[in-house]
């Protein structure tokens, strides 16, 4: 029986992400709130809506739901503290024989607090989202169609940041602890059965610490010098998998012009990925727990899935002609092979922004997601599905759009090396409208120990190509609209090769009836084509409802 695992967030989720293990890649500075202003905005609300979902093909089933929701949008931006929260709880009540009632929490939060001004801050972030796992043919684009394939993802991290200066010496560092959990139906993991099983990610804890001491070119010396090190570990509950990456390195920055510099670095790195095997019964068959995942045999020794240590290096250029333009491009040697990474940010004016990132790293699903979460700005507005209200993985801030959707890619438990590129463009059109376009490519090569139940995944490649388009704005003084379109193609080498394609779009309209009361309407059309499913699925959805803002 065929079996593949992929995740498809409704509407525009599969977007830009900076995967976890792009450690060593310098992140471009994000736009920060004005240090002289302080603002606090808290907007709680409740909603009641009626939703209709009509299957257009292969069948003609029609389902109806009542959706009750409560949420809050909040933001605080000040001299020493800042953060944003978008949180929503939904209760979906079905009336048809095939409907499944559900409770969903979705949202995102990012914030920081200054402990020692100019030297020490503490930051944290959290995310909750719903995604679909395509395993046995029951998966659909809209999670309301079939809750049997819907999974809930929770992720969060916290830790201090150091940024200090002593004379001409700059000290920068961070320490983080992260946690990620995927809650899914047992039949999703067991659908393939036997040897075809692919273990679905359960949960993991990540630990990360970086420290660098540096001088700037033209201050203490004509060139800039830096020495530092980093440590990363992810402990994955599935089969006691562990990713460990330790490295030290030295870097030099040589100015060519006032805007252009050549950079280079060399160091030593030790990377190890290991796991234990599954417990087997008297017949030699792997034991499965009540959630459909393999039971770990703790009595067995660790087995190495990937191990490399030795010299690492990279060279590149840094071009920063103005405060609105920044380019970095690096090529080198890491993980015993050639590596590429870089970034480009361009904001020609306050109304538009372009962001591009190229990444390469080794991690698990949890580490990838927590690091993507940490890359989001602290001052943002979260994007949500116009019809279901789910957080679609993207936020809009002063520096443009930023998303974590690309980090979802695949929710296998096995660790992987992830390489790819993501890009986004945002534009404010006049005073009433804004538009965003984003696209990306992600390639994950999985790492698993030979001789274990995960061995079948070793060396397999999952690839994702994704794109989205969004437009929203105001219509007069009392109405607003939002339009989204998306496309995602997922390919896996599992079972000889399988492909999943999802395309669709939605449109929503809000109109104020009274000072705090507004009416909502939305429509959506989604198409899901999977090699795993016996038939393709096309569904149309509609919503009408009321919202009250406190």
**Assigned domain for 302 exists:** no
Number of domains within the chain? 1
Q: Is residue 282 part of a domain?
A: no
Q: Are 5 and 135 in contact (CB under 8 A)?
A: yes
For the chain, the farthest-separated pair of C-alpha atoms sits apart, in whole angstroms, at: 75
Residue 32 in any domain: the answer is no
d(CA 491, CA 134): 12
pLDDT at site 79 = 86
Three-class SS string for 401-454?
EEECHHHCCCCECCEEEEEEEEEEEEEEECCCEEEEEEEEEEEEEEECCCCCCC
CA 81 to chain centre: 24
- Residues 6 or more apart in contact with residue 321 via CB below 8 angstroms: 259
Looking at the domain assignment, is residue 86 inside a domain?
yes
Cα(417)–Cα(464) distance, integer angstroms? 14
- In the three-class reduction of DSSP (H, G, I as helix; E, B as strand; rest coil), residue 190 is classed as helix
Instruction: Read off φ and ψ for residue 411, nearest 5 degrees.
Output: -110, 35
Q: Which H or E run contains 366?
A: helix 365-374
DSSP assignment, residue 147?
G
Answer whether residue 142 is part of any domain.
yes
Kindly report the backbone phi and psi dihedral angles of residue 528, in degrees, each rounded to the nearest multiple of 5, phi listed first.
-130, 120
The string of pLDDT tens digits covering residues 400-436 is 667 776 667 778 889 999 999 989 898 999 889 999 8
Distance of CA 497 to the CA centre of its chain: 25
Per DSSP, the chain holds a count of helices (H) and strands (E) of 2, 25
Instruction: Give the CA-trace dihedral at 462, 409, 415, 498, to 10 degrees.
Output: -30
- Are 464 and 426 spatial neighbours (Cβ–Cβ below 8 Å)? no
Read off the CATH number of the domain in which 522 is found: 2.40.160
Residue 299's contacts (CB-CB under 8 Å, 6 or more residues apart) are: none
CA gap 306, 43 in Å, rounded: 48
Model pLDDT, residue 193 = 41
| Closest-CA residue to 397 (of 13, 29, 19, 31) | 31
Closest CA to 297 of 453, 190, 458, 456: 453
| Domain assignment of residue 11, yes or no | no
Structure-token pair, residue 510? 């809000």
CA separation (Å) from 347 to 26, 33, 322, 427?
Answer: 19, 16, 10, 10
Which pLDDT tens digit goes with each residue over 302-333? 999 999 999 999 999 999 999 999 999 999 99
**Which CB contacts under 8 angstroms, 24+ apart, belong to 99-102?**
99/63, 99/64, 99/65, 100/146, 100/147, 100/148, 102/143, 102/144, 102/147, 102/150
Residue 196, helix vs strand vs coil: helix
CA 548 to chain CA mean position, Å: 30
Q: Which of 247, 265, 250 is nearest to 308 (CA)?
A: 247
Q: Which region holds residue 311: left if phi is over 0, alpha if psi is between -120 and 50, else beta?
A: beta
What is the SS3 assignment for 148? helix
Distance linking the first and last C-alpha atoms of the chain: 52
Sign of CA dihedral 160, 161, 163, 169: positive
Does residue 177 belong to any structural domain of this protein? no
The pLDDT of residue 290: 83
Is 396 a member of any domain?
A: yes
Residues of the chain with pLDDT under 70: 1-38, 96-100, 132-150, 185-198, 400-401, 405-407, 532-534
CA distance 385 to 389: 5
Range of the domain at 140: 39-157+310-549
């Amino acid at each position: 029986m065929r079996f593949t695992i992929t995740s498809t967030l409704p509407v525009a989720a599969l977007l830009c992400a900076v995967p976890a293990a792009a450690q060593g890649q310098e992140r471009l500075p994000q736009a920060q709130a004005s240090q002289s202003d302080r603002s606090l905005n808290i907007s709680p609300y409740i909603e009641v809506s009626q939703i209709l979902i009509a299957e257009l093909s292969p069948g003609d089933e029609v389902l109806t739901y009542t959706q009750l929701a409560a949420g809050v949008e909040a933001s605080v931006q000040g001299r020493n503290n800042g953060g944003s929260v978008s949180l929503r709880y939904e209760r979906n009540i079905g009336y048809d024989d095939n409907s499944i009632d559900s409770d969903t929490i979705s949202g995102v939060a990012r914030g920081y607090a200054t402990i020692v001004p100019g030297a020490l801050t503490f930051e944290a972030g959290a995310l909750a989202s719903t995604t679909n796992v395509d395993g046995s043919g029951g998966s659909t684009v809209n999670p309301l169609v079939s809750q049997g394939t819907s999974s809930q993802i929770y992720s969060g991290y916290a830790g201090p940041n150091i940024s200090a200066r002593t004379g001409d010496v700059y000290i920068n560092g961070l320490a983080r602890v992260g946690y990620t959990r995927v809650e899914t139906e047992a039949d999703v993991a067991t659908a393939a059965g036997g040897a075809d099983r692919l273990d679905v990610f359960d949960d993991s804890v990540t630990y990360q610490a970086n420290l660098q001491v540096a001088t700037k070119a033209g201050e203490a010396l004509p060139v800039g010098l830096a020495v530092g090190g980093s440590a990363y570990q992810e402990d994955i509950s599935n089969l006691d998998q562990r990713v460990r990456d330790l490295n030290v390195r030295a870097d030099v920055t040589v100015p060519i012009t006032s805007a252009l510099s050549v950079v280079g670095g060399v160091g030593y790195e030790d990377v190890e990925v290991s796991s234990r095997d599954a417990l087997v019964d008297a017949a030699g068959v792997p034991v499965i727990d009540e959630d459909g995942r393999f039971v770990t045999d703790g009595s067995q020794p660790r087995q190495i899935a990937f191990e490399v240590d030795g010299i690492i290096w990279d060279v590149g250029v840094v071009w920063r002609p103005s405060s609105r333009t920044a380019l970095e491009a690096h090529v080198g040697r890491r993980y015993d092979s050639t590596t590429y990474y870089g970034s480009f940010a361009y904001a020609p004016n306050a109304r538009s922004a372009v962001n591009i990132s190229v990444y390469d790293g080794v991690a698990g699903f949890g580490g990838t997601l927590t690091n993507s979460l940490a890359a989001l700005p602290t001052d943002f507005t979260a994007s949500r599905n116009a019809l279901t209200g789910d957080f679609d993985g993207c936020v809009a801030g002063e520096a443009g759009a930023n998303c974590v959707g690309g980090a979802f890619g695949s929710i296998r438990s096995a660790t992987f090396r992830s390489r790819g590129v993501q890009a986004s463009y945002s534009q404010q059109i006049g005073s009433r409208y804004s538009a965003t376009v984003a696209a990306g490519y992600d390639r994950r090569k999985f790492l698993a120990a030979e001789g274990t139940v995960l061995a079948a995944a070793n060396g397999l490649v999952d690839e994702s190509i994704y794109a989205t388009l969004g437009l929203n704005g105001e219509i007069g003084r009392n109405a607003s609209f939002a339009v989204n379109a998306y496309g995602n193609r997922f390919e896996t080498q599992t079972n000889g090769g399988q492909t999943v394609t999802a395309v669709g779009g939605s449109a929503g309209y809000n109109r104020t009836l009274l000072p705090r009361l507004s009416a909502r309407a939305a429509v959506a059309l989604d198409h899901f084509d999977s090699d795993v499913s016996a038939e393709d699925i096309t569904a149309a959805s509609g919503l009408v409802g009321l919202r009250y803002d406190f």
